[in-house]
Structure 1
Amino acid sequence: MNNYIKYSFRFLVIFGLFSCMISCSKESNEDASGMVKVALRNVGHQLLLINQDSISVVKPIMKIENLQYQLSFEEQLEINPDSLIAFLKNSFQKANLPQHYLVEVLQCKDNEVAYSFQMKQNIENGIIPCRGRQLKKDCYLIHVRFTKRIETNCSYSYIWLVSIFLFGIFGIITFFYFKRKTKVSSEENSESFTFIGTYKFYPEQNKLIKEAVEISLSKKECELLTIFIAQPNQIIKREELTKKVWEDNGVFVGRSLDTYISKLRIKLKADESVKLINIHGVGYKLEIDSSFCIRKLKSTFRNFLIKRFFSIMIGNIL
């Protein structure tokens, strides 16, 4: 896979997860705080009803700390610990809040703890002292501190949405990348070429390419090279060359053949495995030393492995 796609996907994943954590955390905290306040207001309402008070109101629920809340009342009231335990447990269960919390009933006048208990999932595992002992009518503040983090279900749905979105974008990027790559490959394949040693010969475009360097050929040079390629390492007579290149297409003038052969030699000289040899009095031969090409490829591959090895070693050291 292309580096562009890999880095794009990594960026999308990191960005998505970061956004998800921020958004979900914010949404989770806001939703959890709202649910706690609703549940505590319901507890306050139930406590007022058992005090036969249907007129006074429950004061706004205060968030003291991240996991601690305060419930207070407009008027004085009596508090029965058993009722308080039951109201909190039922209200928190309905709101899907954690059943791990510490409750303190404070006296308004001096903030002394008049009653407290700890709930751990159920009454049997919690610490519930002095049950059945009624707290006399007075002004009270009820503090509830959760001992386990409040979680909401929004995080998972949000993560799924972000994941689907990211994979959708990644799929689109991958689709267009491979579509473009296929187009480029088809364009490259449409340009047929033939290897001459380390050269690529494009007869339809009258050019040679060696290591990304383009070498232009004249029409006559291209026609001569096409004939030589069709019969590599074989002697081709002068008469055959002049007939196919000149006599069939016009008039042959002087030493035109020798002139164009010299031009081809110059353009092919960069590869020692390719030679245009003059067979005196007979013709010419395009000699391609395949063993030389193999040795050169082996040498190039060996140098590549050595460079790769040292680059990996240096990378590990750094």
Structure 2
Amino acid sequence: MMLKPRLLFISAILLIVTAVVACLKPESDTFATGKEAVVMRSIGHQILLSSGDSTSRVLPVSKINDHEYQIQFERALIFKTDSVMKIIRQAITANHLPPDYVVNFVDSLSNQVVYGFAVLKTEQNQVMPCKGRTQPRANYLVHITFRKNSTGMLNKNYIVGAGSGLAALILIFSGLGLNRGEHKPSANLVSPALPTVTPVIYIGRYWFNPAHPYLELKEEKIKLSDKEFKLLSILARHLNTVVDRSDLQKVWEDDGVIVGRSLDMFISKLRKKLDQDPSVRLINVHGKGYKLETT
């Protein structure tokens, strides 16, 4: 049984009220701060364990300002850069803290930054120097600073509000459709198809839109030939996955004849156009095919 337009409008109004109340209801600052402090202590604990220290304490976590925390330790320690990067990233991701942040290790005696890195997920960017190095034993302070107004700060109240608002809009438009149907005779009309939006694929620092025959790197547009464009479209849609040679050779199906070395030649051309980002590699997997890999 179909709902009457009046009932749909009443339901929509109730959902709009729910959306407004949910969005205006603030998350408890005390609760959020307490949760973040616990996460900071957990990070400090994991850093101590990774340095081989299972007995000394993580001292009280300090909140420097609304977006910065300081972790300090009871004793001097040594640390490996790769280990602390992994520990901090996993803790922040697992606890849904803001995705953009900067980490600095400060020598408490000299008050100088001896190591740091940045994760800027909303910009698809990371700055992680000095990988694989071990820092000497010292009394370190760890400063973790989150970007102000990061999208990661949205809480469940906003999600509920947005969902209710969307449901309200659906009901409103449904009601309008029913109302029109009551006053107009039916007709066999075909609605025009909505335009399809092709999503951009990120390949390291490159942008690739499967609707356009070029790569973008910052402000530069790198032109692709027809075959390069078709090959990259297949490889980009299967990023970090091996694509069989036979699937890639289908690019030449319209030509009727596949030259044995044609695929390898165009793969070589693509490599040159992707060589401005060392994190992107186009790998030949012997006996199988090729894999477009990003790290």
TM-score (norm 1): 0.41
Bigger CA radius of gyration: 1
TM-score (norm 2): 0.44
Bigger fraction of residues in helix: 1
